[in-house]
Structure 1
Amino acid sequence: MDKIMKTALRTLVYAMAVCLIVWAFLPEWRTVSLGLLVGLAASSMNAFLLRRRVEMVTLGAAGAGPRKRGLGLGNRIATVLLVAMIAYRFPEDLNMPAALAGCMVMPFVLLVAAYIHNKRQS
């Protein structure tokens, strides 16, 4: 799981670097690239929240510790809502569709990273 997460995070950092380069050199694409950048940041935070939640459930199922309760999906939805509220509040700086699309990137990156990792294992 750690190798998959590390690969996905590295890919996401590269995508964020591309967004920063587009923001710096293409002024007509600034709102789109900044919206995508904010969405990618929220997507990475959601991935870490999901990873922590999966580890908590795994430890609880193995009986290694007390069963912990948390907000789970609520935290991840609140993160996306926060991005949407920021994009709605500052439409001249952030593009709402790009920000929301950026929020959905990390699960697909994780899926591709897991597929590549499993192909290398077998």
Structure 2
Amino acid sequence: MDELSVRLKALQRVTFIFIAVCLLGWAFVPSMREIAAGIILGTVVSLLNSYFLANKVRNVTKVVLQDGRKRVNLGLLTRVAMAILAVMIAIKSDGVNVYATVAGLLFAQFIIVVIGFVQVRKEQ
């Protein structure tokens, strides 16, 4: 398994645990339901964006290794559109906090950095 797959699998595990904790908070703390729903929405979109980016990176790597002159991109507009869609859903929904959604959108990036540091420490 390549390094990207290992990190994605770790990100998936951490994200699912975090979403489970947020669901418990949503279920047992009624005053935090809007915030928990926003964080869950943002975190799910963040995880989907991470999968999409990983797929694009694999495709770019494959094209470069085949010495192709094919034009490739990393799908920035698609990932931005998914983030904007999540924020629009949060704005239109009464039970979802917009600020929590935006914070959830940053979850995967933050966690992947932490995972990288942990894996580098294990290798030393």
Unaligned runs of 5+ in 2: none
Q: Find the counterpart in structure 2 of residue 80 from structure 1.
A: 83
CA distance in 1, matches of 2:74, 2:120: 31
Matched, 1:26 2:22: no
* Alpha-carbon distance, 1:63 to partner: 1.1
Superposed CA RMSD in Å reads: 1.6
CA distance in 2, matches of 1:64, 1:109: 33
- Which runs of at least 4 in structure 1 moved beyond 2 Å after TM superposition? 64-71
- Report the number of matched residues: 121
* Bigger shift: residues 1-10 or 13-22: 1-10
Matched, 1:17 2:20: yes
* Alpha-carbon distance, 1:71 to partner: 6.7
Matched, 1:7 2:10: yes
Unaligned runs of 5+ in 1: none
Amino acid corresponding to residue 81 of structure 1 in structure 2: I
* Alpha-carbon distance, 1:64 to partner: 6.7
TM-score of the pair, normalised by structure 1: 0.92
* Bigger shift: residues 24-33 or 110-119: 110-119
CA distance in 1, matches of 2:64, 2:117: 25
> Which string of whole-angstrom CA distances, capped at 9 and with x for unpartnered residues, describes residues 2-53 of structure 1?
1111111101111100110000000000000001000000000000011011
